[in-house]
Amino acid sequence: MEEIVTKLIVIGGGPGGYVTAIRASQLGVPTILVEETQPGGTCLNIGCIPSKALIHVAEAYHQARSREAQSPFGLSVSGAQLDFGKSIAWKDGIVARLTSGVTGLLKKYKAALLIGRAELIDGKTVVVQSATGAKRIRAEHVVIATGSRPAALPNLPFGDKVISSTEALSLNGVPASLAIVGAGYIGLELGTALAKLGASVTVVEATDKILPTWDAELTRPVAARLEALGIRVLTGARALGLSTKDGSLEVLENGAVHATALSVDRILVAVGRRPRTEGFGLDRLDLDMDGSFIRVDDRCMTSMRDVWAIGDVTGEPMLAHRAMAQGEMVAELIAGRRRRFDPAAIPAVCFTDPEIVSAGLSPADAKAAGHEVVVATFPFVANGRAMTQDDDAGFVRVVANALDERVLGIQAVGREVSELSATFGLALEMGARLQDIAATIHTHPTRGEALQEAALRALGHALHL
Ligand code: FAD
Ligand code: NAD
């Protein structure tokens, strides 16, 4: 077996792993990145990027279709058609551009990319089965960035018409009818897109509300849009499994004695994701775990010295930008810099219709943390840009400490508010006070003005409300 010695081996080429490899190489750390499929991980290949491409196609088609009956500004479109095969090919083209871009970046910064499955032998040794044979790699540092996979339901295993997000992003055609188990990020992002593409969608959610980790004020406009799109939402409902009689999905709704049978073409199970911790020798290291996730400290070091873990395999929030931030930090630590993972906020965006953003503390979280809070919202109905986009649903909300006016959290729901998330994160990271936001000149006409107005309103003198 070929023997290789390096300073750093990274297992997994998703956003966490490839960013670690790029940054470590930039800092002169000899690095090998091992990826069993292709660089980009879940996010670029079967997650963030393909889902946002599909959402874009769906919105464009929906807009064209809804203009058949003429828009308020006089546009009418007739006979809008969608070649779904071309849509999927377009999405695949974007994925290919991005994944080959990652390969190019790794090459540019001289990080070695090894395609193959990695297996941990001990905390410093990894064996990789690659196309050019098995290689034993010895490294001072090992970064585990193996990510996550879709959680399966025991009574509804994947296969045949029961699919995960991976298959939902590469369908041959839009299913006429679709049931979605789970009204979380994936269920609602993809459910909305597929409904806009023409599928009849029913969402089955176990808890009593959609997007249960987001507060009701933020999810209300989303619930209204789901209803407008004709998406049926069953809350407090449990998917029991497929009927042996006709293959329909049996669902028990809150308090009901008899199950409802949903006769659908496809069933998308989107009930969360599980860390990938099995099948690559992790048990040989006997690391401390945090439930099913690998436990890490505030530098992403595991319980074994110089074995690091980042991204989805380390727990919530399972978001690409968190994985990347952890990866960048770990690379710098390995290169000898002093770093700690202590962000003021990890903003989260749900790309539903309308989009939702949350950065920092919600009003309830802030109160629970013992703050005396002031909360102010500014609705998009009073925002010129929103009106000119013919979509004034939603608002921006600011949560601040009532005593020192320090901003604790910023949330928004509305069209394109995902683009405001960086501003929200920056305000929190810079320790902004309400006055800082209120006194910053915001460009007119933009949706961002709603943030300034919310801050002004919290100070008691909104100008446009
Ligand atoms: P991953 O991206 O999962 O990468 C892990 C990599 O490790 C994989 O490429 C895998 O092949 C490789 N690997 C595993 N084991 C081995 C081994 N033994 N040897 C070699 N290689 C191995 N997040 C957002 O922030 N925004 C979004 O809009 C968003 N949308 C999403 C939409 C969907 C449908 C899904 C499923 C997820 C979405 N996410 C989104 C979540 C995001 O994809 C993940 O948080 C992110 O990919 C985690 O990065 P990671 O590097 O930890 O792991
Ligand atoms: P999720 O945790 O967002 O939502 C899962 C939903 O399924 C929850 O509402 C939960 O109550 C429900 N549920 C659980 N078990 C159930 C059951 N047996 N029957 C009915 N409902 C059930 O998980 P997801 O939507 O699968 O997404 C996985 C992860 O991927 C997310 O947590 C997120 O970290 C990431 N993701 C992020 C984005 C984004 O950033 N925009 C998009 C997609 C996915």
**Span 137-174, pLDDT tens digits:** 999 999 999 999 999 999 999 999 999 999 999 999 99
The CATH class given to the 2-149+275-334 domain equals alpha beta
Tell me the CB-side half-sphere exposure of residue 439, using CA atoms within 13 A.
5
Q: What is the per-residue pLDDT for 69?
A: 75
Residue 70 has pLDDT above 80, yes or no: no
Listed by start position, the domains of the chain span 2-149+275-334, 162-271, 348-458
Upper half-sphere CA count for residue 296 (Cβ side, 13 Å):
26
pLDDT higher than threshold 80 for residue 255: no
Marked catalytic residue, from 141, 371, 444, 461: 444
Q: What is the DSSP letter of 21?
A: H
Q: What is the mean pLDDT of residues 247-254?
A: 92
**pLDDT band at residue 57, thresholds of 50, 70 and 90?**
very high
Of the chain, the percentage scoring pLDDT greater than 70 comes to 100
Give the number of the ligand closest to the Cα of residue 142. 1
Please report the atom of ligand 1 found closest to the CA of residue 351: 28
319 CA to centre of ligand 2 in angstroms = 12
Q: How far, rounded to the nearest angstrom, does the alpha carbon of residue 223 sit from its chain's CA centroid?
A: 19
Per residue in 91-145, pLDDT (tens digit) is: 999 999 999 999 999 999 999 999 999 999 999 999 999 999 999 999 999 999 9
Task: Tell which atom from ligand 1 comes closest to the C-alpha of 148.
Answer: 3
Tell me how far the alpha carbon of residue 272 lies from the centroid of ligand 1, in angstroms. 13
Q: Is 166 in the pocket of ligand 2 (CB under 6 A)?
A: no
Cα three-residue angle 375-378-380, rounded to 5 degrees: 150
- Beta carbon of 451 within 6 Å of any ligand 2 atom: no
CB-based contact 384:245 (threshold 8 Å) = no
Minimum CA distance residue for ligand 2 atom 38? 185
Ligand 2 mutation target, pool 162, 185, 208, most atoms within 8 A of CB: 185
pLDDT at 330: 98
Position 187 confidence tier, pLDDT thresholds 50, 70, 90: very high
pLDDT band (50, 70, 90) for residue 67: confident
Q: What is the pLDDT of residues 193-218, one digit of tens each?
A: 999 999 999 999 999 999 999 999 99
Q: Minimal CA–CA distance to 149: which of 247, 257, 280?
A: 280
Closest CA to 34 of 50, 8, 18, 11: 11
Closest atom of ligand 1 to 280 CA is 18
Is the CB of residue 42 below 6 angstroms from any atom belonging to ligand 1? yes
Higher-scoring residue by pLDDT: 75, 90:
90
Ligand 1 atom 27: the closest Cα is on which residue? 48
Helix (H, G, I), strand (E, B) or coil at 4: strand
Alpha helices in 273-383 (DSSP H): 320-334, 363-368
Cα gap 223→211, rounded to integer Å: 10
Mean per-residue pLDDT for 403-411? Answer: 98
| Ligand with minimal distance to 275 CA | 1
Residues 313 and 294 sit within 8 Å (Cβ to Cβ): yes
Q: Which residue has 């004020």 as its token pair?
A: 217
Element (H, E) at 408: strand 407-414
* pLDDT band per the 50, 70, 90 thresholds, residue 358: very high
Q: Whose CA is nearest to atom 47 of ligand 1?
A: 43
Closest residue to atom 34 of ligand 1, CA basis = 47
How far is the C-alpha of 413 from the C-alpha of 358, rounded, in Å?
Answer: 9
Q: Which residue has the tokens 């695949």?
A: 92
Q: Which of 186, 190, 352 to mutate to test the pocket of ligand 2 (most atoms within 8 A of CB)?
A: 186
Q: Reply yes or no: is the peptide bond before residue 379 cis, omega within 30 of 0.
A: no
The model's pLDDT over 371-388, given as tens digits with 9 standing for 90+, comes to 999 999 999 999 999 999
Distance from the Cα of residue 31 to its chain's centroid: 28
Length, in residues, of the chain? 465
CATH number assigned to the domain covering 162-271: 3.50.50.60
Q: Is the pLDDT of residue 23 over 80?
A: yes
Q: Is 56 a catalytic residue?
A: no
pTM of the model: 0.97
Report the SS3 class of residue 172: coil
What CA–CA distances, in Å, run from 87 to 230, 276, 311?
Answer: 23, 30, 30
Mean pLDDT (whole number) for 26-45: 98
Could you tell me where the DSSP H helices lie in 109-210?
165-168, 185-196
In this chain, the answer to whether the domains covering 2-149+275-334 and 162-271 adopt an identical fold is yes
Report whether 32 contacts 139 (CB < 8 A): yes
- The ligand 2 atom at the shortest distance from the C-alpha of residue 184 is 4
* Ligand 1 close to Cβ of residue 48 (< 6 A): yes
Which of 209, 236, 212, 191 has its CA nearest to residue 351?
A: 191
Residues of 77-86 as b/e, b for ≥16 C-beta within 10 angstroms? Answer: eeeeebebee
Given ligand 2 and candidates 271, 274, 346, which is best to mutate, with the most ligand atoms within 8 Å of its CB?
Answer: 271
Alpha-carbon gap, residue 62 to 53, rounded angstroms: 14
Strands 407-414 and 355-360: antiparallel
Which token pair is 257? 């004695």
Among candidate residues 447, 396, 349, 414, the one with its CA nearest the CA of residue 51 = 349
Q: Is the CB of 322 under 6 A from ligand 2?
A: no
Tokens 């990319």 identify what position? 113
Rg (CA), the chain: 24
Ligand number with the minimum distance to the CA of 143: 1
Residue nearest to atom 29 of ligand 1 (CA): 48
Number of H helices, E strands in the chain: 13, 23
**Which phi and psi (to 5°) does residue 230 adopt?**
80, 20
Q: Does domain 348-458 have CATH number 3.30.390.30?
A: yes
